[in-house]
Amino acid sequence: MKQDLIVILDLGSTQNTVIAREIRELGVYSEIHPHDITANELKSFDNLKGIILNGGENRVVNGQEVEICPDLYDLGCPMISIDYPQSKCESKFSTLPTQEELKNFILKECNAEANWNMKNFIEDQVERIRQQVGDKKVLLALSGGVDSSVVAAMLIKAIGQQLVCVHVNHGLMRKNESESVVKVFRDELHANLIYVDASERFLGKLEGVSDPEQKRKIIGSEFIRVFEEEARKLEGIDFLGQGTIYPDIIESGTKTAKMVKSHHNVGGLPEDLKFELVEPLKQLFKDEVRACGVELGLPHDMVYRQPFPGPGLGVRCLGAITRDRLEAVRESDAILREEFAKTGLDKKVWQYFTVVPDFKSVGMKNHARVFEYMVIIRAINTVDAMTASIEKVDWDVLERITERILTEVSNVNRVCYDMSPKPPATIEFE
C-alpha cells in the first residue's frame, strides 16, 4: 500500500526531527528534505499530500538566507511555513504549531490518510528495493548490530539469495563479537555469509592516528576497500546495502546544520565508490528501526541488542589506538556487560559501554607507584538517539564493576562514571 507523504523542507530549523516524529505519531509518513529540492523532484514522490517549510536559527548559510525554489508554490499542494519570513504561504507560524494545529493541517487540509505503520513501510521498501536492484546482487556489511541485522532481514525479504552478507572483523569488535555473528547468521539464520579477518590490516592503517574524524574515515574507507575486494571475487555485485538511519544523516551534517560527527556510512564513503547504495532505513529513527525488526520477525534479543558504532572500539579507545588500551576497552566492556546482565540493567538501559582515554594517572599497586590508564563507564537512556539521559546506577553495582575492572583488566588503576547527558555531550566520546 502506497503511504501518503508529508515533506518537511529544512530551511535551518533544529526541530525537523521533532515535527517528523509528531507527524508519524499521527499515522502519516513524513520525510525531511533539503530546502533547494526542485518542484520536479517533489512531483516524482508518490502520494505527496503536503509540504512544511521549516525555518529556524540556521537559515543563514554563507551569509545568505536560504530560500525554496519559487515554483514550489505552484505545485497546488497544501503548504504551511514555520519561522520562515520569506514564505508566501497563507498559513504561517512563528513558533512550532500545536499538536492540534499540526493534526488539522495533516489530516484535514492535506487530507492525508493515517496509514503509516511498519507493515506498510516494509511493503513499500521491499517494492522499492526490488525496483532498484532488479536481478543484480547486493553486498551488505553485516556487523550483527541492530541496523545491519534489520537491513539484512529487509533485503532477504525483498531479494532473497541476491544478498551477499560480509562480516569484517576489523580488530575493533567487542569480546567474542565476531564469533557470535558467525554463529547467529551463518549457523542459525542460514545467511549467505562471508567472514573476513582484516584486523591486522585495520590496526596498521590506524597506527598513530589520533584525530577522531580521521579514524572514522579511515575505518569507513577501508571497509569499502574490503568490500570491493570481496565483490571482485563474485559476479553481478552492483549494490552496497547500508544500515544508515536518520540520526546518522543529521549528525553528519546537512546544508543548514553543522556536523556533530561523521558516521562511517555517511561521511566515510570514498569519492570513487563503485557501488550504488541501497539504504532502506535511512528515514527511520532508532526506535522505529527496532519496530521494523520485530515486524520482520527477527529475534527479540537481536533487535534490542546493544547499539555498537560502525568504527567499533576504535572510537572508544580514545586518541591514537594502542593494543594495550584496545584490550583494556574490550575486557572492561565485557565485565560491564556481564554485570549489567546479572542485575537486569541490560534490559533497562539503552546503551552502556566503557572507554579508555590516551593518558595515564598515578596510582598504587603492590605498594608501588604506577602510571596506568583509567576506564570510563557510560550508561544512557534514549528513544531516538538525538537526546539522552544518564542511568542512575546503584552504587553497589558500580562498586562491584569497579572492583572487577581494577582486578581483572591489565594496565588500569582508575574507574570513572560519566554523568553527561546528550546534549551537550554526544553518546560516544569520539
pLDDT at 264 exceeding the cut of 50: no
Confidence of residue 259 (pLDDT cuts 50, 70, 90): very low
Q: Which of 74-78, 187-191, 206-210, 400-404 has the lowest mean pLDDT?
A: 187-191
Residue with cell 497546488: 76
pLDDT at 2 exceeding the cut of 80: no
Query: Between these two residues, 430 and 95, which has the higher pLDDT value?
Result: 430
Determine the pLDDT at residue 231.
79
Determine the pLDDT at residue 234.
85
Cβ(148)–Cβ(176) below 8 Å: no
pLDDT at 260 exceeding the cut of 60: no
Determine the pLDDT at residue 380.
97
**d(Cα 126, Cα 401) in Å, to the nearest integer?**
44
Q: What is the mean pLDDT of the chain?
A: 89
Q: Tell me what the mean pLDDT of segment 328-356 comes to.
A: 96
Cβ(381)–Cβ(358) below 8 Å: no
Q: b/e per residue, 12-22, with b = 16+ CB within 10 A?
A: bbebbbebbbb
Q: b/e per residue, 188-216, with b = 16+ CB within 10 A?
A: ebebbbbbbebeebbbebbeebeebeebb
Residue with cell 544523516: 249
Q: pLDDT for 102-155, tens place per residue?
A: 999 999 999 999 989 999 899 989 999 999 999 999 999 898 889 999 999 999
Residue with cell 513524513: 30
Q: Tell me what the mean pLDDT of segment 196-211 comes to.
A: 96
**One-letter amino acid identity for 336?**
L
**Residue 43 CB coordination number (10 Å):** 10
**d(Cα 173, Cα 5) in Å, to the nearest integer?**
39
* High-pLDDT (> 70) share of the chain, %: 94
**d(Cα 160, Cα 126) in Å, to the nearest integer?**
11
Q: pLDDT for 175-186, tens place per residue?
A: 988 988 888 788
**d(Cα 334, Cα 340) in Å, to the nearest integer?**
10
Q: Tell me what the mean pLDDT of segment 377-403 comes to.
A: 94
Q: Tell me what the mean pLDDT of segment 346-362 comes to.
A: 95
Determine the pLDDT at residue 65.
82
Determine the pLDDT at residue 265.
47
* Burial class, 141, CB count within 10 angstroms (exposed 0-12 / middle 13-18 / buried 19+): buried
Q: Which of 51-55, 244-248, 339-343, 397-401 has the lowest mean pLDDT?
A: 244-248
pLDDT at 192 exceeding the cut of 80: yes
Determine the pLDDT at residue 1.
64
Query: Between these two residues, 97 and 249, which has the higher pLDDT value?
Result: 97
Q: pLDDT for 230-252, tens place per residue?
A: 878 888 788 989 998 877 776 65
